[in-house]
Amino acid sequence: MRTKITRIDQDIETLLATHPDGTLIRSLPGMGTNLAAALIAIIGDVRRFASADAMASAAGLAPVQRQSGKRAGCRRAFGGDKALKRVFYQSTFCAVVTRDPPSRAFYDRKRREGKHHTQALIALARRRVTVIWTMLRRREAFDPDRTAA
């Protein structure tokens, strides 16, 4: 059984190395081989999403507006592609646990703002959707020193 799993992991690694998006996705901290392969399998071509917001909405990571009469606000999304949401959530968790400096700084800032652990992770996952979408659209690897325009 272990030899089969090892062989499958090696096959995934080989296929990911030959995929044009494989190296780009893996350059983002927290995106290992299996998560990168799952992301490619789920989203296919990133051009199917008009914007990073559309991709976040598809993953169920964008807040949903809630209105009734004079009351307005946002709530957490319960819809979206659960597999895509899992990829972003797990990669976010890996980046925070391995103490990737930009990810950890964002997470710590959200915690200081009073957000709970899960809320801070979801906020970071939403930000990482934008990063991945931009990387794939521009065909650029992740650069931690680059700041948003």
The model's pLDDT over 16-40, given as tens digits with 9 standing for 90+, comes to: 999 999 999 999 999 999 999 999 9
The pLDDT value given to residue 148: 56
Full residue range of the structural domain in which residue 130 is found: 2-138
Q: Confirm whether 21 is domain-assigned.
A: yes
pLDDT, tens only, 96-120: 998 889 999 999 999 999 999 999 9
Q: Confirm whether 149 is domain-assigned.
A: no
In this structure, are residues 36 and 23 in contact, taking their beta carbons and an 8 Å threshold?
no
Q: Confirm whether 11 is domain-assigned.
A: yes
Q: Confirm whether 146 is domain-assigned.
A: no
Proportion of the chain above pLDDT 90, given as a percent: 77
Lowest average pLDDT, out of 3-7, 79-83, 130-134, 139-143, goes to: 79-83
pLDDT, tens only, 61-85: 987 666 676 766 655 666 788 999 9
Domain count, the chain: 1
Q: Confirm whether 64 is domain-assigned.
A: yes
Under the banding of pLDDT at 50, 70 and 90, the label for residue 149 is very low
Q: Confirm whether 144 is domain-assigned.
A: no
pTM: 0.86
Q: Confirm whether 107 is domain-assigned.
A: yes
The pLDDT value given to residue 33: 94
Q: Confirm whether 65 is domain-assigned.
A: yes
The pLDDT value given to residue 72: 61
